Amino acid sequence: MSMIVKDVSFAYMKHQVLKEVSFQVERGDCVAVLGTNGVGKSTLLKCLNQVIKAQYGDISIDKKAVRDLSGDELAQVIGYVPQNGSFSDSTVFDAVLLGRKPYIKWDATQEDLEITENVVRSLSLEDFALRKVNQLSGGEMQKVAIARALAQQPMLLLFDEPTSNLDLRNQLEVIQIIKDIVRERQISAIVTMHDLNLALRFADKFMLMKDGKIFAMGGSEIITPENILEVYGVHVAIENFNGYHVVIPH
């Protein structure tokens, strides 16, 4: 899988949010998109998934333009987990089964049910399978949202701030789930985040955004005090603790 994004621009009315954004994501990449509020992180994900249409530029997956894919074709390639995803008054199993919708013609097949069962089991949701989603905790609901996207069997997963509103334990669990999914299934993930330290724990590529543009992109070597000062306006030190880089504000 290779996604190529070239010169993507988007504006709300006269407010330019994205300005000629270009990058490439390969199979197995786990990319953290970082930057201040309002810099265009969520808008970028929505453009990639065609929730909104980029006014300029091109987005392709394996040399196929995403704008030429039908809704079902796109959903078979890209799984999208938005902020505060909504669920109907359904059980966990039915909510995850909804991820098979792009493949279902008339009714769910045995294969659809088996894929759903496997995804539910892989995220340790089997004890909640027959419970209503709206009865779950925030962390459990986030796992259901990830499971629904996984049931689509996509090549690329997009997560918009998946750890927002979660406590520390659930933040670490959700981030570890995403990291494990990318490694075990050999797919790719693009994740918008605010927490630099969480990003440094799981991502292998980082995209720093400023003023609607990519300020820097690369491995952990781009997470420097100088770049963080430029992007966030905050003085920091970066230390190594038990093998992890840790960002410490002054």
Each residue's pLDDT tens digit, 162-178: 998 889 999 999 999 99
Domain extents in the chain:
78-153
Report the pLDDT value the prediction gives residue 40, as an integer from 0 to 100.
96
Report the pLDDT value the prediction gives residue 106, as an integer from 0 to 100.
84
- Crossing angle between the packed helical segments 110-122 and 138-151, to the nearest 10 degrees: 140
State how far the Cα of 106 lies from the Cα of 104, in Å rounded to an integer. 6
Each residue's pLDDT tens digit, 98-146: 999 999 988 999 999 999 999 999 999 999 999 999 899 988 999 999 9
Banded model confidence at residue 88, pLDDT cuts 50, 70, 90: confident
How much of the chain, in percent, has pLDDT values that exceed 90? 87
Side-chain half-sphere exposure of 155, counting CA atoms within 13 A: 13
Report the pLDDT value the prediction gives residue 105, as an integer from 0 to 100.
85
Report the pLDDT value the prediction gives residue 13, as an integer from 0 to 100.
86
pTM for the model: 0.94
What distances in angstroms separate CA 87 from CA 71, 122, 133, one per listed residue? Answer: 20, 20, 7
Pairing of strands 205-210, 30-34: parallel
CA dihedral 35, 40, 43, 45 (to 10 degrees): -40
Each residue's pLDDT tens digit, 187-245: 999 999 999 999 999 999 999 999 999 999 999 999 999 999 999 999 999 999 988 89
